[in-house]
Structure 1
C-alpha cells in the first residue's frame, strides 16, 4: 500500500487494539436504514443517537434514492432486519448548488474528463427531491408496504433535523 494511506493504517492499528464490537451481528439492531449524503460533516450515528450495529447507513452524493440504494434496501429489509428507512439529505449540499450540466462542464474544463455518460442526480429543489425519493421507496414493488419511510433534512450548521411531512 502506498504512503498515501499510512496515516489511516496507523490509526487503524490504534483502533484495533481497543476494538470491542466483534460481537455485533450483521443485522440492524434498531431495524433502521439511513440514506444520507457522503458529506464529511455528517456523522449519522452520532446525530441520530445511534451506536455501531444499530443501523444500515447508505451514503452517496446528495443522499439520493438511486437504483443502487433501492437494491441495497431490498437486501437490508429482507436479510438484515430493517423495517424503517430515513432519507436524510442536508443543508449546504454541493449537489443542491448546481445542475448535472454544470458539474459535467466543470469536470471537463478543470480536468479534461468527459463525464456526460454519468447521471449525478443534482438537486434543484431539495424538498421536492426528498419527497420524490420517499415516494420512490414507498412505491418500489420489491419493498413491503409495511415499511416505515420518513425524511428529514439535516442542518449542517445547527446539527438539527428538519422532518419533512408527507
Structure 2
C-alpha cells in the first residue's frame, strides 16, 4: 500500500533531475510581493509574466491581508528586496461567496462534525470592500514604508485576465 504523498514525491524525482534553480538569490528580483488566494486555479508566476525568484508570493484563503500577511510583508520589505505589493483576489472565490464566517463554521460543523469557531476565516461577500480594507491595512501599517507602492487587482478565473482596481 502506498503513501498518500507518493504521487508528489515521485513527481519531485523528475523535477530534481531537471532542476536548474540552484544559486537563485532569496531576494525578490523584480521587487514584488504578491498576496493572492490559495485557489489551485491561480498560477501566480505565469499569470503575471514572472519567473522563479522574481517575487515573494503569499497565499491564503481569500487573498486576505491578515496579521500574518503583514508580518511577512515587513520581513519581505526589509530583508528580501520587496519594493511594491500587489493584492490579488479572484472571481468565484468561495471566501467571497458566503455570508460570513458563521456560514463556513456551520457548513464544516454540519458536514464534518468539527467545530471551527476558534478560527477566523476572514470571509467577506463584499470582495471589493474587503480588498480596499486590506490595501489600507498595508498602506497604514506602522512598520511598512509610507511610500511603499500598494495596489489591488482582481484575477478572472474564466479568462485569465488581471484587472487593476486600486492603485
Question: Normalising to structure 1: TM-score of the pair?
Answer: 0.97
> 1:46, 1:109 → 2: CA distance?
38
Specify the alignment match of 1:116 in structure 2: 117
Distance 2:53 2:28 in 1: 6
Per the alignment, residue 83 of structure 2 pairs with 83
Pairing of 1:41-60 with structure 2 (within 5 A): 41-60=41-60
Q: How does 1:25-104 map to 2 (within 5 A)?
A: 25-98=25-98, 99-104=100-105
2:136 maps to which residue? Answer: 135
Q: Please, which runs of 5 or more residues in structure 1 have no aligned partner?
A: none
Partner SS for 1:4: coil
Distance 2:126 2:29 in 1: 33
Find runs of 4+ consecutive structure 1 residues off by over 2 angstroms: none
| Count of aligned positions | 165
Distance 2:75 2:57 in 1: 13
1:14-65 superposed Cα distances (whole Å, 9 cap, x missing partner): 0000100012111100000000000000000000000000000000000000
Match of 2:162? 161
* Deviation of 1:165 (Å): 2.7
Q: Unaligned stretches of 5+ in structure 2? A: none
Per-residue deviation, 1:12:
0.3
Output the TM-score relative to the length of structure 2: 0.97
Structure 2 CA distance for aligned equivalents of residues 3 and 13 of structure 1: 16
